[in-house]
Chains A and B, each alone.
Chain A
């Protein structure tokens, strides 16, 4: 450890200084930056701590505002602890904080102190889907007639592009009921053994909405959202629901304004 930091006369030394301060802000260990800082009557680590506190407080606030029900389920103090651990490992890449937290649900699923709440990670996935819908504008929907021009022989190979605000999300827990109950001042009882749920989440004008889908419809729309062509999406849906009906389901997709574009895939891709 050098006694004092040399003058950062070139870019690589300035970069090294900034990487050291980044590690001190995120990790809390100021040993490798302290020599570069004037104490001015205070321990250099206390000075770094002022920035560190601000970074963790504001980034923690951003997570709390995106995941309010996760926060309520675990209480504020535990949430702050979980957010702190997440932040150290996964600092934001985007400079827009509403886009921070894409992998928070995966982090919670691995975070052992949360084990007694097995549905917590799925609540986070649901809140992330709500957040996507709140930050992405709906595009003007594709009219069903547009597809009429497609030669019948190619119809099976059409892949639709869906509204960018859409998310499809299934859980073995009644996530929507748990979430809704925890938005109330007095949380009403929720039967968490009442079974799983398959949800569609989207932007509707200024609002965000979600609904439960039957298994065939959920499978079909999830397959479309994943970019599968109609033939493959139908096959997936029929596996879940043998009575699945393509024409009516497709008409519903257009009636709800879910499709915004399409392309015709080469035949070899339908085998995915």
Chain B
């Protein structure tokens, strides 16, 4: 690991992926927290044992990807109870899920599919968030998705929809800065205006990740497979100015690099958090 300047009150974590587990366990890099996809730890695998061992040294954030809170059917109670059992074992610092749906009619599609943003879907989504928070015994943070399609009838702007969910259910918001950038690019809206519409006090975490451009068409895809690009760092700086130093995660799930690359990204995020803390100090 490279020498880093000492930075007080670290706030940055990384997504924990299996190929990095041994190295993290051996070298114990300075990180504020580790985040995992909850669904990867719901079976009794050796990976769960290793996560619980790391948990002794790091706070852990559980990021759910499959509760499918936007499905127009009942929540999967079995999945909810498995999630709760994992929460009881891990005692996470944060628990998050997505503004999306991924399962319907007994088929799980492993994709964060978009909702039309209507009064009906808002009622449904809020009901599911309330049920999930009650079932899990925890506040959820709900993440804004990256989107590649919009419905013809979707009259509520996404940022107003997610703000309404937070207002009505008491959930927090996981502000994925890269997702805002990707969706803003794909649909031509102003990412800074989106950030500035998000309610300040409910943003409990920020996600940063890489994305790629599709060849031949003007679409960006959030793939968590590369470094955070400069415009996303700039948007993140705007987020820090607005939300303060909330826990920030470097996500990297595909084309996994050496751990050092993630730590380097985390260090950069830490420096930014440090800089903005001083800029905004009263």
Interface positions of A (Cβ within 8 A of B) = 4-15, 17-19, 21-22, 25-26, 35-38, 40-42, 44, 46-48, 50-51, 54-55, 58-59, 62, 91-99, 134-137, 206
Contact A135 B151 (CB under 8 A): no
19 contacts across the A-B interface (CB closer than 8 A): A5-B153, A7-B155, A9-B118, A9-B119, A11-B72, A14-B72, A14-B120, A21-B113, A40-B186, A40-B188, A47-B149, A50-B149, A54-B111, A91-B107, A92-B107, A95-B68, A97-B110, A98-B45, A99-B43
B150 engages A36 (CB within 8 Å): no
B152 near A38 with CB under 8 A, answer yes
Which of B2-10, B135-143, B213-221, B268-276 lies at the interface?
B213-221
A51 touches B187 (CB 8 A): no
Interface residue? B44 (CB, 8 A): yes
Min CB gap A4→B, angstroms: 6
A6 nearest in chain B by CB position: B153
A46 to B217, Cβ gap below 8 A?
Answer: yes
Interchain nearest-CB distance for A151 vs B (Å): 36
B178 at the interface (CB under 8 A from A): no
Interface members, chain B 110-137 (any A CB < 8 Å): 110-111, 113, 116, 118-121, 124
Q: Please, which residues of chain A bring their CB within 8 A of the CB of B171?
A: none
Cross-chain pair count, CB within 8 angstroms: 137
CB contact under 8 A between A38 and B72, given known A98-B45, A134-B46: no
Q: Which residue of B lies closest to A54 (CB)?
A: B111
**B residues adjacent to A (C-beta < 8 A):** 39-40, 42-46, 49, 66-68, 71-73, 76, 79, 82, 101-111, 113, 116, 118-121, 124, 148-153, 155, 186-188, 214, 217-219, 221
Are A50 and B113 in touch, CB under 8 angstroms? no
A21 to B147, CA, bound (A): 15
Looking at the complex, which one of B82, B111, B149 makes contact with A55 (CB distance below 8 Å)?
B111
Distance to closest chain B CB from A96 (angstroms): 5
A95 in contact with B116 (CB, 8 Å): no
Write out the residue numbers on chain A whose beta carbons fall within 8 Å of the beta carbon of B105: 19, 22
In the complex with contacts A11-B120, A15-B72, A51-B113 CB distance below 8 A: yes
Beta-carbon contact of A40 and B151 below 8 Å: no
Other than A46-B217, A95-B39, give 7 A-B pairs with Cβ distance below 8 A. Answer: A7-B118, A8-B118, A21-B113, A36-B151, A37-B152, A47-B149, A51-B111
User: For residue A38, which residues in chain B have a CB less than 8 angstroms away from its CB?
Assistant: 149-152
**Chain B residues with CB below 8 A from A12, complex form:** 72
Bound state CA distance, A40 and B150, in angstroms? Answer: 8
Q: Are B153 and A22 in contact (CB under 8 A)?
A: no
**Is the beta-carbon distance between A58 and B151 smaller than 8 angstroms?**
no
State the Cβ distance, B203 to closest chain A Cβ, in Å: 26
Say whether B103 contacts A37, CB under 8 Å.
no
Q: Which of A14, A15, A36 has the most CB of B within 10 A?
A: A14
Contact B104 A98 (CB under 8 A): no
Asked if B66 and A9 sit within 8 Å, CB to CB, the answer is no
Chain B nearest CB from A59 CB (Å) reads 5
Question: Are A10 and B71 touching (Cβ within 8 A)?
Answer: no
| A7-B118, A8-B116, A42-B219 known; A25-B152 Cβ under 8 A | no
